Structure 1
Amino acid sequence: MKEDFYDILGIDKSASAAEIKKAYRKRAIEHHPDKNPGDTSAEEKFKKAAEAYEILSDPNKKGKYDQYGHQAFGGGGGGFGGGMNMDDIFSQFGDIFGGGGGGGGFGGGGRRMVKGSNLRIRVKLTLEEIANGVEKKIKVKRKKVAEGTTYDTCRTCNGSGQVVRIQNTILGRMQTAATCTACGGAGQTVDKKPSNADEQGMLATEETVSIKIPAGVVDGMQLKVSGKGNDAPGNGISGDLLVAIEEIPHDNLQREGDNLHYDMYISFSEAVLGTSKEIETVTGKVRIPIESGVQSGKILRLRRKGIPSINGYGTGDLLVHVNVWTPKTLTKEQKEFFEKMSDDSHFEPKPEKGDKSFFEKVKDMFS
């Protein structure tokens, strides 16, 4: 089981943004590769701390993690668990180590790594796909560095990605650093590029991306596929592909959290005599018995026939709502039969103590 992000940083869920940053800096410096050369265990802890900080430092990601756990990000955490290297971490969090806003402040290589822009797509899923999990192959239009493109060190910033300015003020000499406008912070400019590439050496391409969607996702949830966004010029990091989930309404089933609801209609004679009915579930059809004398409004619970919990807390139930259909038109013989039965004691309403009222059933359903 994946380790809890709060445990990795040694903080509580109530920790403030400043406390989260302080805890990450402490862990990162403690396990930094420069301080632990050749120690693979320390490097792994360093990556875990960076992964935890990436999620917990972002209010939106933190909210989703608090609600859904690791499953909110496709079963993993952030991007680092999915194959990002040490340069990736330095490029995004180099400023944590006091390195002047770039990756090179504390062993990051001396140059700010640029990350390509993220892409966003929406994926529609049926209730069956949500219940069972699915792998989708989606065609994505993304920018990639064109084949044959080469880059030179930027002459304006000498490859640092930043331009340092010194100003004389009444308080003394002030030094400021800003992103280099000549290279956009990449530290590199285009040397050669094919004629069909843009000014940054990029080319628009279409790529089929495989997206593994875990069971139990909810409408509006956003998953991330690391490195499948737009490329960055030079030797930068590719952006991410953000996948928004859209649930397609089911014809017969209604979702309520991890539980499902199904309205089953039976005839008056079936309610009197009893029967069995085949109904639809997200894992296939099942046949359930209906006892004789069943009352309209009765709820039958099929255990673990609902949606798996995104947090791994088991599977919801399928609640079958029995509705006795009263005929609106009768033949002369049928009408005569019911007229004879109107005074029969078997047809008089006799609710038992175990028969709950409508309001009690609603209360039970939401409790």
Structure 2
Amino acid sequence: MVVDSKLYDVLGVAPDASDAEIKKAYKKQSLANHPDKNPGDESAQVRFQEVSAAYETLSDPDARSAYDRYGEDGNAQGGAPDMDDLFASMFGGSSFGFGGPPPPRRAQDAVIPYTVSLEDLFNGKTAHFSLEKNVVCSHCKGNGGKPGTHPKDCVTCGGKGRVLEQRQAGNGMIAQSMAQCNECKGTGKKFREKEACKKCKGNKTVPAKTRLRLDIPRGAYNGQHIVFEGEGDQLPETKPASIIFELKQTPHASFEVNGIDLCAVVHITLLEALQGFSRTVLTHLDGRRLKVTKNKGDVVRPNQVDVVRGEGMYDSHSRGRRGDLYLRYEVDFPTNDWAKSADEKSLSELLPPRRDDLPEDEDVSIDNVSTKPSELTNFGTNQRSRAPEEDTYDNPGGEPNVQCAQQ
């Protein structure tokens, strides 16, 4: 038996109504009394607020149980103990999320993306920054008020640090949730305007400028975090936040990175692929030119890969350790114009002979086909058509469909 049925009466349901019945009644009442459907009708607006408040309590199993046992004003009349007061008496003022001002929180760390080149990561770099942050007010020592004054309960939230927010949820429904009070920043306390600190205006912190020197170590990597502990925003009686720089590497025109290994493409001519070469092939990330020698007879084939040990990225976590540099060769064939103008007899004397036809067979025909340029990425674009469905035969009796043997 409930001690108070007022909220049930507002929704027009019995005290033993199910959750589904309460929800259905709320939807009906809220639609009927919605301000958009009753413009200028103050009584409808009041009714709408009463319906929303009733549903908020009765839709929550714990809140409904407490209401059934102690009524709407049970806490004020001493019927049910206030959870905030109970936990405050047990744990020295901590409400553990059951209302009341939350404990002081550490200011949020600031993550700042910083764009760097692969050369910066390979060689290291130093950069300087001017930043603005919030620091504890030196005038009031983070108290927020004048000497001898004390903050009062926030009028907006009633000292709870949180307020009830309503928002449209579609279909005429109103969703409600608890949010931090903007007036007191969730503390539940606020100084009166004439008692607030003149420097910070009661905010307890003031903006201040700072300079930071960012030292990117040699061998840093994409996505690495460089942390400045305690250099971020401050809040009274809490540890200062940190400023975190996150390195974002831009793509490089010549090198790819995987771990601490590097890879680069080296273009060579057909003559170099066949006869060898000795020349500088690329500029490294520190400006050095790398010279590669291939002796005559060491034929370099397309996409062949060589490795140069110890010429990769530095390992910033292991002193002196470096990765490897992989070189992938691409053979640049002569142009069509060069091939047309070249002396065929001279080329025939220098290059291996053409291949012969496949072995002839009298039973095999030969078709002349034409070719066109394409890309291997087109391989597989032609798929078979959907197969027609096979014929099926119904057999209602469920017995095997067998025929008698001819006598």
TM-score normalised over the length of structure 2: 0.45
The structure with the greater share of residues assigned to strand is 1
The structure with the greater share of residues assigned to helix is 1
